Amino acid sequence: MVLAAGLGTRMRPLTDHKPKALVEVGGKALIDHMLDRLAAAGVTRAVVNVHAFADQMEEHLKRRTDLEILISDERAARLETGGGVKKARALLGEAPIWVANSDYLWRDGPTALNLLAEAWEPDVMDACLIVVPKVRTLGFDTPGDFFMDADGALAHRGAEPVAPLHCFGIEILDPRRVYEQPQTVFSMFQVWMALASGGRLRGVMPDGFWMQIGDPAALAVAETRLAVA
């Protein structure tokens, strides 16, 4: 599932007339950067949720022929990241899924998603996240998200002032842990914290430089990096 229902308020004025996922960087819409990566990793079917400028999103996605794309319609109300996955249950099914935000870019060749897939062990985890050292990221405005032990288990920084790793918005997930949440509107962060407390949240740390394209300043830096990479 590719999460593309955000309002993109920090990206204004670029999102005054289009969804954030259709903002272009390097001559390509953000969502296409992510869908291209997923397709290269072997994904053949993707669910995309839509909210703001939903008609534009649907029309854009119809142009892709390499993936079967299904739309989860959130025009009536945004459900946040966890709620969006829960609403799409009929489209996603019960087996493990990829979940990816639509506003992230990275430069490391094709290895990151393969690394994540290789790390997936449903006997010992319910979610496996990509995490990246802060020094190899752009566009994150938090003091870090997680600590990771030698076995890949993740612990949130909690009361600690900083943590060394940013959570990048790509994971493999047992979606039943999302479906069982009682709320309709909720964040994936809530699910991660529950899994971490039970030792079922793991991470992988790929190489490369990772960018969250959250505002025009980050977009400008990303354009420069893509141009010289």
Report DSSP letters for 140-188, one per residue: --SS--EEE-TT-BEEE-TTSS--SEEEEEEEEE-THHHHT-S-SS--H
Dihedral (Cα; 42, 44, 47, 48), 10-degree rounding: 70
The CA distance from 174 to 178, in Å, is 8
- Output the domain CATH number for residue 33: 3.90.550.10
SS3 102: coil
Mean residue pLDDT across the chain: 91
The CA distance from 1 to 18, in Å, is 21
Q: How many domains does the chain have?
A: 1
Residue 118 pLDDT > 90: yes
pTM for the whole thing? 0.91
Q: Domain of 156?
A: 2-228
Question: What are φ and ψ of residue 188, in 5° steps?
Answer: -60, -25
pLDDT number for residue 110: 58
What is the sign of the dihedral through the CA atoms of 179, 184, 188 and 192? negative
| Lowest-confidence pick of 67-71, 200-204, 205-209, 225-229 | 225-229
Q: Contact 173/224 with Cβ under 8 angstroms?
A: no
Residue 1 — very low, low, confident or very high, per pLDDT cuts 50/70/90? very high
* Percent of all residues in the chain with a pLDDT value above 70, rounded to a whole number: 98
SS3 228: helix
pLDDT number for residue 229: 53
Summarised one tens digit per residue, pLDDT across range 55-114 is: 999 999 999 999 999 999 999 998 999 999 999 999 999 999 999 999 988 877 558 899
Summarised one tens digit per residue, pLDDT across range 71-80 is: 999 999 989 9
